Structure 1
Amino acid sequence: MEKDTDRLGIVFAVGAYLIWGFLPIYWKFIDYVPAGEILAHRIIWSFIFMVVIVLAVRKWPGFIRECKTILKDKKKFFSITMASVVISINWLTYIWAVNSDHVLQASLGYYINPLVSIILAIIVLKEKLNKSQTISVILASMGVLYLTFSYGVFPWVSLLLAVTFALYGLLKKVVDIPAMYGLTIETMIITPIALIYLFFLPENTFSLPSITTSENVILMGAGVVTAIPLLLFASGAKRIPLAMVGFLQYIAPTLMLQIGVFIYHETFSMEHLISFGFIWLALLIYLGSVYRFPIRKMKNVEH
C-alpha cells in the first residue's frame, strides 16, 4: 500500500512539474494580449475554478471556517494577503517574460529559486548555512554576475521570478493552510483588483457575446492551468519524501530551457552556458548537501 502511495505521489508531482514546464507554450498562444490583461484573467478564472472545486468536493463549510479564522488572526491575514500580492507579481513577470521571448530568463529564475530560498532562510528565519550550501550560494551568485557583466544587462526577470517565488514559499510556510483553501483565498483577495483593472481597460480581448472564441477559451483556461498543477503538487508532496520532491522540481525549468532554445529559437550563447553551468553546479552541490541523508536512508530501506 505504501509503495502504491509513493507511486501515486510521484505521478502527481511529475504531472505538476510537466504542466509548469510546458506552460510557456500555453501563454504563447495569446502573446499578443498584454501581460496585465492575461494576469487579471488568470486570477479571476483561477478563483472561479477553485470555488467550483471546493463546492464539488463539498468542502465549502471548511473553507468558510478557514476564512473566519484568517479574518480573526491579523498575522495570518497579513501573510496570506502578502502571498497573494507576491504570487501575482510572479505570475505577471512570468507571463511577460514568456510572451516577450525571455523563456531562458524564466528558466534561469526557477533554477535560482531554491538558492534564493536559502538566503531568505538565513535573513528571516535566522538559519545557518553549512559549507556546501555556502559554496552553492557563491557559485550561483557568480553565474548571475557573469551573465550581468558579459551582456551588460542585469537579469532582473530571473531574479524577480526567483525572489517572488521564494517569498511566496516563505509566506506559505508562515500560514499553514490546506492547498485548496489557500489558493482559493489568495485569488479571492486579488480578484476585485483584477476585475477593476479589466473594467478600466480601454479595450478588452475577452468578449462575452463571442465567448467560444479561441482567445476567450484560452483566457478562461488560465484558471485551470494555474490551479491543477498546484493541487497536483500539494497532493504529490504529501506522499513522497522531500528528497524526491527536490530532484523532481527541476523538471519544469529544464523543459522551459529546451522550449526556449528548440521551439522558440532563443539564443543560447557560450555566456549562457557558462552562467547556467555555475547555477547547475551550485544546485548539484546544494542537493547533495540537503538530500544526502534522506537518500541514503531510502536506499537502506529498499535493501
Structure 2
Amino acid sequence: MNAAATRAQPHPEARRGFAFGVAAYSLWGVLPIYFKALTAVGAVDIVAHRIVWSLPFLALLLFVSRGWSQIRQAIRRRRTLLLLLSTATLIGINWLLYVYAVTSGHILAASLGYYLNPLANVLLGRFILKERLSSLQWVAIAIAAAGILALAVGALGQLWISLTLCVSFATYGLLRKIALVDAVAGLGIETALLFPLAIGWLAWRFAVGAPLLGSTTSDTTLLIAAGVVSTTPLLLFTAAARRLPYSTLGMLQFLAPTLQFLCAVWLYGEPFGRAHAIAFGAIWAALALYLVELIRAPRASQAPQAPE
C-alpha cells in the first residue's frame, strides 16, 4: 500500500472518535423517549432524581479516572468555584425546562432551542469574547432571527421554551469554556452544588405524602437509572472530543436536535404548522451557512459544549 493510500484511510482513533460522537449525540437525540415514559412524574421530581442518582455515578467515575485532584484544584480556586456555582444554576434551569418541555408535549420547541445554540455561541463569541464574525456568519444570524420572528408571530406560546433553553445552555457553555476544570470534574462539582436542593425537594415531597420513587415499578426503575442515562452521553462526548477535530464535532452536534425534531413530529405527533415550517426552514438555512463557514475555517471553530 502506497503512502497516499495510507493517508487517505482514517486513523483508528479518529474512527473510534467518530463512533463515540455519533453515539453521544444519538443518545441525547432520543433522550425525550426516556423522559416521555416518565410523564406521570413531575418535571421537578425527575430532575431531582437525575441529580441525586448522578452524584454517586460521577463519584465512581472520578475515582476510577483519578480525577479527584481536579476537584480539589477547582475548589481551591475561588473564581472557578463561583463560575461553577453559576453554571450549576444555569444547567439546573436548562434540565428542568427541557424535562418540562418533553413531558408537556413541547419537544419541537426544545429541538428548536438546541438548533439555535450554535448561532447563540457565535453571538456570545462576538460580543463577550470579542471574536470576529465573517459576513457569512452575520447572514446566518440574520436568517435565524427572521425565523424566530416568524415563530413569535405564529407560535408565541412555545417560543419562550426555545429561547430560554438556547440562552441558558449557550451561557452555560461560555462559562464552562472559561472555567479551569475538565468536563467530568466540572459536572461532578455542579451536581454536588445542586444535590442539597434536590434532596430537600424530595424530602419535602415525601413529607407531604407524595411517592418518593414514582407510583409504579417502571417509574422507580427509570428514575434510579436517570443518573447513568444522563451521564453516559457526556462520557461518550468527552471521548469523541479527544479524538476528533473541532470541525467534525461541530457538524455532529446537529444530530441531537434533528432526532428530537423527528421524535416530536413523527413519534409523538406534535403540531407542526406554517410558523414552525418557516422558523425551522430559516434555522436550517442558517445552520447550513454556519457549517459552510465551519468547513472553510476549521481551525477557527470551537468545540461544541456537551448538552449535559
Q: CA RMSD in A?
A: 1.9
Q: CA deviation at 1:258?
A: 0.6
Structure 1: distance between partners of 2:218 and 2:264: 24
Whether the 8 Å contact between 2:35 and 2:99 is mirrored in structure 1 is yes
Structure 2: distance between partners of 1:144 and 1:184: 35
Q: CA deviation at 1:123?
A: 2.3
Structure 2: distance between partners of 1:175 and 1:58: 20
**2:84 — aligned with what?**
80
**1:191 — aligned with what?**
195
Does residue 167 (structure 1) correspond to residue 174 (structure 2)? The answer is: no
Of 268, 271, 278, the residue aligned with 1:274 is 278
**2:60 — aligned with what?**
52
Q: CA deviation at 1:2?
A: 6.8
Structure 2: distance between partners of 1:102 and 1:120: 26
Whether the 8 Å contact between 1:198 and 1:204 is mirrored in structure 2 is no
Alignment of 1:42-121 (within 5 A): 42-55=50-63, 57=64, 59=66, 62-63=67-68, 65-121=69-125
Q: CA deviation at 1:198?
A: 1.1
Q: Which amino acid aligns with 1:17?
A: Y
Of 212, 217, 224, the residue aligned with 1:220 is 224
Q: CA deviation at 1:153?
A: 3.4
For normalisation by structure 1, the TM-score amounts to: 0.90
Whether the 8 Å contact between 2:70 and 2:182 is mirrored in structure 1 is no
Structure 2: distance between partners of 1:239 and 1:203: 49
**1:30 — aligned with what?**
38
**1:141 — aligned with what?**
145
SS at match of 1:157: helix
Whether the 8 Å contact between 2:48 and 2:202 is mirrored in structure 1 is yes
Q: Which amino acid aligns with 1:141?
A: A
Q: CA deviation at 1:224?
A: 0.8
Whether the 8 Å contact between 1:42 and 1:222 is mirrored in structure 2 is yes
Structure 1: distance between partners of 2:70 and 2:257: 33
Alignment of 1:220-299 (within 5 A): 220-294=224-298
Whether the 8 Å contact between 1:9 and 1:237 is mirrored in structure 2 is yes
SS at match of 1:268: coil
Q: Which amino acid aligns with 1:19?
A: L
Whether the 8 Å contact between 1:5 and 1:239 is mirrored in structure 2 is yes
Structure 2: distance between partners of 1:187 and 1:152: 33
**1:181 — aligned with what?**
185
Structure 1: distance between partners of 2:65 and 2:124: 37
SS at match of 1:80: helix
**2:306 — aligned with what?**
none
Structure 2: distance between partners of 1:219 and 1:32: 12
SS at match of 2:11: helix
Q: CA deviation at 1:207?
A: 4.2
Q: CA deviation at 1:152?
A: 4.3
**1:17 — aligned with what?**
25
Structure 2: distance between partners of 1:42 and 1:92: 10
Q: CA deviation at 1:70?
A: 2.1
SS at match of 2:212: coil
Task: Give the direction of change, closer, same or farther, for the CA distance of 1:270–1:221 in structure 2 (3 Å limit).
Answer: same
Whether the 8 Å contact between 2:52 and 2:195 is mirrored in structure 1 is yes
5+ long unaligned stretches in structure 1: 296-303
Q: CA deviation at 1:40?
A: 0.5
5+ long unaligned stretches in structure 2: 1-8, 300-308
Q: CA deviation at 1:53?
A: 2.1
Q: CA deviation at 1:154?
A: 6.0
Provide Cα deviations, 1:89-113, integer angstroms capped at 9, x if missing partner: 1110100000000010011011000
The count of corresponding residues between Structure 1 and Structure 2 is 289
Q: Which amino acid aligns with 1:290?
A: L
Structure 2: distance between partners of 1:2 and 1:75: 41
Q: CA deviation at 1:180?
A: 2.0
Structure 2: distance between partners of 1:24 and 1:122: 32
Structure 2: distance between partners of 1:229 and 1:86: 19
**1:205 — aligned with what?**
211
Task: Give the direction of change, closer, same or farther, for the CA distance of 1:207–1:133 in structure 2 (3 Å limit).
Answer: closer
